[in-house]
Structure 1
Amino acid sequence: MDMQVNVRFIDNLEQAKAEIRAIGSDTAGIGLMAPKGVHRVLKISGVNPKQANIIKQEMLSKGGEAAITRGAVDHSVETTDVLLMATLKQYRAFIDKLKMQPFGLAKLAASISEALDNLEGRKVRVLNCRGKELEIGRRTLVMGILNATPDSFSDGGRFTEPAAALEQAHRMVEDGADIIDLGGVSTRPGYSEISSEISIEEELSRVLPVLERLVQEITVPISIDTWRAGVAQEALAAGAHIINDQWALRGDPELAGVVARYQAPIMLMHNGQDSNYRDMMAEIAGFLRQSIEIARQAGIPREHIIIDPGIGFAKTYEQNLEVLRRLKELTVLGCPILLGTSRKSVIGNTLHLPVNERVEGTGATVALGIACGADIVRVHDVKEMVRVARMADAIVRGGAGEG
């Protein structure tokens, strides 16, 4: 038989170990070789020339590479980005040396180590939703959208009456929804300002009558889509389980404290006032990282935090596609990822279809989103997207979609 050359794409340490084990190597050899089989590229921003030169020197000494701007060598620039390129084995040795360096580099070493840990594949974890538990990571969870609003871009006015909303919620649960996301204010894609079009009283009048019926009859956790602390307070007191904040704790400074007091999970979505970015994915990650810190400072544990890249918010059509293409980069934050693309304009602009004809486009974004790291998908068409998610899970998670 002629010798053949094939390729293996290895995403994490466990995959590397499995490939080496399949060759027949002994256990000790697997442990030594596997870290050489995983290559990572990390980008660090805001590095001063003194730090950059030490980083480059230490990484080169371990056999890796560090790209810095030319001006960092002669200190003619104030800061530089650094692109690190190395195997896990090289990173380990590099981190050990960096821990011993001055100028804040020991702290950077800890951040690099944390980032590398977060990239080691999906972690199965249990999310305690105020007594109701959700297992995240074993399969993709499906969040069904329930709009108690007269002006939602997709189904405005259909479920404003509690009876109609309850019937729709039951239907979504029967179709496989793991979470019901109830909202009382329209958050139209493309709208990037904190909405105060309706009062807190009006938002509560839309949400609470529906919520009171849902918590009595619906078995899955109920999420409330709001950025207002006053609404969250009343909703959690009435039995809601999760808060879904489209402003990632930037819209109301009191919201984090409310969520912490009720020990509820929170979903933090990237948003902004415009779509002007220098390095979009880095800035989205930075925004979410800051919101995670706000949450933790308020007493919300990290295991209660879910992040959302905010498709359709503070992003152009091309930027939305780029976020979807590069979604996997957000796994560096170490939090489950919620993806909300259902029927949005990025699909309409691609396929030139109205809102009610975007199910196939939504399915494509759901499947590719799962492949790129999404753990929860927020959708209107629950039955169809549960099927898409199960098929995607069977491929991406190795049969986890069965059953």
Structure 2
Amino acid sequence: PAEPDATYYNALEAAAMTQLENGDLDAYFVISDNYTLTGQIDLYARKNVPEVLSENIEDFLRDQLAAQIPESVNVPVEMIADPMDEATIRDLDTLLEEVVNLIRNRFAPVYHAQVFLIDAQTNRAVLRASTGQAGRLLLHRGHYLDIGSQSVIGSVTVTGHAVVALDTSNNPIHRRNEFLPDTRAEMALPLRIGKRIIGALDLQSTHPNAFSEQDIELFQGMADQVSVAIEKTALFDESLARLVEIERLNRSLTEAAWREVGERRGPSSTSASAGQVAPAGSWSALQREAIQTRQIAEHQEADRITLAVPVLLREQVMGAVEWQVPQANYTPSTRQTALELSDRLALAAENIRLFEQSLQAVQREQLVNQISSKLIGTTDIDLILQTAVRELGLALRASQMMIQLKPLGQPSDQPPNGGSDENTNEGSA
């Protein structure tokens, strides 16, 4: 009828229920007001996309679609959309693949869906996710379109507004793709974060005029949610990269610090032994193996077992501990105890090193303050220089010291005053 009445709606709902009971989820029924009911979703939502979207794109899709099915049609939420694994939001490729497959499977007019992301360095929109065999072929060849090119994707990525080609047979903005010869209508929606365009969501149909104004609103809401998910994923990747870099720097600093400790103290002060083992300061073959493999190294001889355990701090090898135990007492618990002891040793040694480092910093600060206090009390430059030389020499235990001041801009190898050493401000000891 031109104006659907209650009887018509009841008949429609009964037909939908029959389709559901028979397991046919693809059939749909069109009413004059563009309200379309399927066994899964309402393709033409009469409500506007809400301004505040849920954090999860799957929640948004489920809520948006479920809201359009009349309450009298009892459709389980699980039949509308399968929950998206929350972990996939941390992997961009998996996230985009989930999105395009979800759209293609849940929206009857869409036979192909894909996502392009902008590569700022090449000024191109690069295909990152695409459905079906055609999508796999396009991804394999590295498909892309130039931003601003004569294409739906080229237009949407330069304007930031939805672009729709209702009939691709007579629309010059549509660029035909040999892998998608059945496309008769195409709609592209911008992926954007604020005013920044990051890509496009591209939907294609085998029927002309398949997309309406309501579709633009609905799918733009989805595209905005996809943009938020992409941004979150990018921020997560950036944070992860920074964390990896911080860990690398920590390992590097730890290695350098302990190398300095070894050079300053010498091998005899950074090793110890007890019992009948190799002399302190030398590495046994087992210790070298443990250091190289970062695992426990074992050797059995007669009724005794010798094991070496690497000492690790922030994934950096600091050394190795070696034990000899009777074979009768050697159990998995012994190995675990050795590992835990080496971990405690690494932490204890690092705490001592940090304490000594802090103590040295305090001592340097005290020394600087002492020297500064002696320099503040005078305004005579020569006396200041003499005092500085004397105090620094005493603090550093230097046999000779000299401080010399030169005018700014004068070459370091040229004496002051044009080659004369007269009136040079200097102090020596």
TM-score of the superposed pair, with normalisation by structure 1:
0.23
Relative contact order, higher structure (CA 8 A, sep 6+): 1
TM-score of the superposed pair, with normalisation by structure 2:
0.22
Structure (1 or 2) with the larger CA radius of gyration: 2
